[in-house]
Structure 1
Amino acid sequence: MEARKRRTILFLGMALFAMFFGAGNLLLPAYLGLQTRTDWTATFAGFSLTAILAPVLAIFAVAVSGNYFTDLGARANVKLAYVLATVNVLCIGPLIALPRAGASVFEVAIQPIIPHAQPVWVCVLFFGAVMAASLSLNRITAILGKIFTPILLIFLAILIIPGFFVGSEVNIPPTVIEDRFYVGFNEGYQTMDVLAGLIFAVLLIAGANRKSYTHINERVEVVVKAALLSAFCMILVYGGLFYLGAHATVNVSNTTRSSLLVQIATQHFGNSGIYLISILMILACLTTAIALTAGSANFFERLTKGKLGYIEGVISITLVSTLLAIIGVDGIIDYAAATLNFIYPVTLVLILSVLLFGKIIHNQKPYFITLIVTMVVSLIRLVANWFPSEDFFTQLLNMLPLARFNLEWVLPAILTFIISCFALGRNLNRK
């Protein structure tokens, strides 16, 4: 591989890691390690599927389909593609992921140092910085890959490496959580990286195009290898954070997602640990927020055919995110969980079906029908979560296979795709 291509892959891979590594990626792994204790590796395996492997597949799926998520969704239906893309962007943009980033900066980075700080002013300053850094779309990957990622990795190493020496001496209790693998699998939804990956792929592809890798084979190679490099970094970092949480000597009942890392850092570094976590949280949230804002604004500019300009989109997205960020991290995660349980299965089914069968089955109907069935099944869980007092939806959900693992959509999706392919076989093109 030529040196220029290696530099491009390194540059884009580092930028992608910074895009992915946000508030949830910093908070959730350690907290899951704390909850599962000696069995943290099983939870880590499940978490890795939805928080590492699935995002890489999402980027690969977009890269082989074209330049945008809508090119991937068009394999099923063009109109449905734009609906799914809009829902995805709203989730990873101004409604969930961006407000969570701002709330995390306040709760984890600022409040422990300045207890009387007001969340509204912290969020205004944070999103003001995000807005300023996001105004130039073409500079996003350069800012993240060359500046922020090396600094972020250095501070993560400072936090994680001492934990392997201190934590190894701690006699940790066994876990009391059942289905540890599936706990990690479902919590991986909270990182929202599959949804984000569909948008980050656009920034990655644009970065490869700017480096003159415009031929589809070269572009896919650069983008996929950059995604794999990012995934390797995430495996190392997530594994280290899981280990820190599993070996933490804290009171589990009184520990929240936001406070755990602060407690671990202060145990290892004294009062200076608070500043370490503050810097890490600000870096993690800022890099992800910049990428999400840029990607979302770029999508809405294309969706509205320029009626909502890129700069106007950046301003609008950061204003909405600022208002919602005041709810707080736990509040955002609570209302996000039900929505993610609906949109994640649909997105995963689209990604996997196109990757596995895209070169064999060119008819849109099997993809479209499978997505509709997946939506209906996922909608049952969504309604059951919204109306827990209604026994009908809960009982209906429990009748579905794998429902106890939040995987009730898997078998219906597989069966629907197989049956629709056979039923519509005359329309299939096989190589």
Structure 2
Amino acid sequence: MEKLSRKNLLFVSLMIFSMFFGAGNLIFPPQLGQLSGSNILVSMGGFLVSAVGLPILAIAVVAKANGLHVLAGRVHPKFALAFTLLIYLSIGPFLGIPRAASLAFEMGISPFLPSTLGISKLPLLIYTLLYFSLAFWLCLSPTKLVDRFGKVITPTLLVLITSVFVFSIFKPLGGFSAPVGDYGELPLLKGFLEGYMTMDAIAALNFGIVISITLREMGIKKEQNLVSNTIKAGAIAGLFLILIYGMLAYLGATSQARFGATENGAQTLTNVVFYLFGHYGSILLGLIFSLACLTTSVGLLTSCSQYFTKLIPKVSYRTWVILLSVSSMMFANVGLTQILKFSVPALTAIYPMAIVLMLLALVHRFFQGNIYVYQFSMVCTACISIIDALGEFGLKFDLFNHLPLYSKGLGWIIPAIVGALVGFIYGKLRDKGFEEQSLCELESLEA
């Protein structure tokens, strides 16, 4: 009988946590805490739904569907290829991985550089060369990730973040301030939107391959056991995320009274760490950001390489790791600012489609897998999300401003629901038409 021990289940969970927990996950909670102030509990409720609930749901859905390609294939085979390819490229070598490497440099290395080197491109080039060399080495043995991440890197990262939180208790930062902006009027929705922008649900669609390989290496071979253990490990990873997000949000919420408002969560976290640890805080902060970014990059590089190996078997896994590492390094040297300019529109277009696909898979049995529900809903969602993405480049379409939640970046919700309902009705009418036609043909043959 195949059975995963509690110890191994914990290590797999820590590995999943480390792949999710990148620099963005470090930045958003402190910013949320700072701006939500006394409304932190309500705001965190919304944040956890989108930043933890959606990624764990993605892991479960992909595991049950036996892969992202199979899941996307419920819309159309051509859509499956295009969408899966787009997901892996965007969250991988084109945007996600370079962004992580650039942010690790900005937070972990750049503060230590003398002002004379601040304008030079050389430090970033040297850093990314070392960064992706290490990432490449870690990716070469994907079956060892659970040992390296689950047993070493992730526990270290958790200890570092927890130490900051514990020190803040003995050296209090301050009390909770009044909520700012939408955090005062719509704290739940604002928190949801902040978690939504972590984009972890897209990353979760990629990580299924890595989790499956790890579990198979541990002796779990049967499909049913793979699915159940993947869901269990994902749920435990979600609990770790909730705990860490809570600590970081608390640090942000208690920091505003002492430091005032900052532009982003990175500045908030920097102020907190320097206050608690003095100049040594820069070393601690550098370690936290570097470890968080590295584990996410390795997880994405591994999952992308595994996918492209399946897509083009003639090219070996090792070759794909090399190609993706080099391309990611090249894009990382464009600079964080330029990467963010393109990442936001691209992810704005993709993310709603990924969410709708997951939610439809969740209620797949309810509408009996009607293909038209998937197709109509996905077309409606894609139209709005792509138009929304074009808006990031200045191409505004005032016609859609009347859609509920459009100004909040959630204008795709109503069209997605309407598309699903229309697809369901159309599918039922089409099936009924086929049944009547078949009955008529049968009666004519009998006559």
TM-score (norm 2): 0.88
Q: Does 1:369 align with 2:376?
A: yes
Equivalences for residues 199-348 of structure 1 within 5 A: 199-248=206-255, 249-253=258-262, 255-303=263-311, 305-348=312-355
Q: Deviations over 1:124-146 (max 9, x none)?
A: 21111111211223222332112
Verify the 8 A CA contact 2:35 2:180 in the aligned structure 1.
yes
* Gap change, CA 1:167 and 1:278, over 3 Å in 2: same
Partners in 2 of 1:39 and 1:328 — Cα distance? 35
Verify the 8 A CA contact 2:175 2:254 in the aligned structure 1.
yes
Code of the residue aligned with 1:400 in structure 2: it is L
* Gap change, CA 1:88 and 1:156, over 3 Å in 2: same
Q: Which residue of 1 aligns with 2:80?
A: 81
* Gap change, CA 1:131 and 1:420, over 3 Å in 2: same
Verify the 8 A CA contact 2:58 2:205 in the aligned structure 1.
yes
Verify the 8 A CA contact 2:375 2:423 in the aligned structure 1.
no
Aligned length in residues: 421
SS at match of 1:373: helix
Q: Which residue of 1 aligns with 2:152?
A: 147
Verify the 8 A CA contact 1:93 1:296 in the aligned structure 2.
yes
Q: Deviations over 1:267-321 (max 9, x none)?
A: 0111111111111111111111111101111111222x22432222111212222
Q: Deviations over 1:33-64 (max 9, x none)?
A: 22333323333222212211000010000111
* Gap change, CA 1:347 and 1:4, over 3 Å in 2: closer
Code of the residue aligned with 1:213 in structure 2: it is I
SS at match of 1:357: coil
Q: Which residue of 2 aligns with 1:105?
A: 104
Query: How far is 1:4 from its partner?
Result: 4.1
Partners in 2 of 1:164 and 1:74 — Cα distance? 50
In structure 2, runs of 5+ residues without a counterpart are 433-447
TM-score (norm 1): 0.91
SS at match of 1:252: coil
Partners in 2 of 1:171 and 1:218 — Cα distance? 46
Query: How far is 1:330 from its partner?
Result: 4.5
What is the RMSD of the two structures over their aligned residues, measured on CA atoms? 2.2
How many percent identity over aligned positions? 30
Code of the residue aligned with 2:239 in structure 1: it is F
Verify the 8 A CA contact 1:38 1:175 in the aligned structure 2.
no
Q: Which residue of 2 aligns with 1:126?
A: 131
Verify the 8 A CA contact 1:341 1:378 in the aligned structure 2.
yes
SS at match of 2:259: coil
* Gap change, CA 1:412 and 1:164, over 3 Å in 2: farther
Q: Which has the larger radius of gyration?
A: 2
* Gap change, CA 1:160 and 1:327, over 3 Å in 2: farther
Query: How far is 1:92 from its partner?
Result: 1.3
**More deviation in 95-104 or 169-178?**
169-178
1:354 maps to which of 352, 361, 365: 361
Partners in 1 of 2:332 and 2:37 — Cα distance? 31
Q: Which residue of 2 aligns with 1:408?
A: 411
Q: Does 1:182 align with 2:189?
A: yes
Partners in 2 of 1:315 and 1:190 — Cα distance? 29
* Gap change, CA 1:285 and 1:6, over 3 Å in 2: same
